[in-house]
Amino acid sequence: MIEEVRATGAAIRLITDGDVAGVIHCAEAEKTGIDMYMGSGGAPEGVLAAAALKCMGGQIWGRLMFRNDDERGRAQKAGITDLNRIYALDDLVTQDVIFAATGVTDGSILAGIRREPGYLETETILMRSKTGSVRRMQYRNPTN
């Protein structure tokens, strides 16, 4: 698939982790140059990504991918009856939502924790779907 996509002239960036950040980049295509994210990850990360996209006006489609029968059984026990269902953004995030993330290590969206003389500094992004607002905050916490 990668060769086929590259043959069209599209660029591909392969990432090993940071799937929520990778998805967020798609909602800012004019800034990042990234139009689409394709990949697999955990269901909780998919819901987090959907929450961020709902705040930013993006879209997402996903389905559960099971590695074994135990995972299928857990999904059925949780009440999931259609194991092949494709979920859209509003299936994953059904109401207004607030998304917040604070960088622990440096990433493509947020700086990690910085230790400065006398304080620690963190960076947080806070988004709200109701207003479409995206805020970035820097916090300094004294270390005395």
pLDDT digits (tens, 9 = 90+) for 99-112: 999 999 998 889 99
pLDDT greater than 80 at residue 74: yes
Residue ranges per domain, the chain? 2-142
- The pLDDT of 75-91, averaged and rounded, is 94
- Shortest CA distance to 32 belongs to which of 40, 42, 23? 23
pLDDT digits (tens, 9 = 90+) for 8-21: 998 888 887 777 88
Digit-coded pLDDT (tens) for 27-46: 888 888 888 888 888 888 88
Percent of the chain with pLDDT over 70: 100
Which stretches of the chain are assigned E, i.e. beta strand? 61-62, 87-88, 98-102, 114-116, 119-128, 133-142
| pLDDT of 118 strictly over 90 | yes
pLDDT at 63: 93
CA atoms within 13 Å, Cβ hemisphere of 108:
17
Question: What is residue 123's predicted lDDT score, i.e. its pLDDT?
Answer: 96
Q: Span 2-142: which CATH code?
A: 3.40.190.90
Taking the C-alpha atoms of residue 127 and residue 131, their distance in angstroms, rounded to an integer, is 9
- The pLDDT of residue 27 is 85
Whole-model pTM: value is 0.83
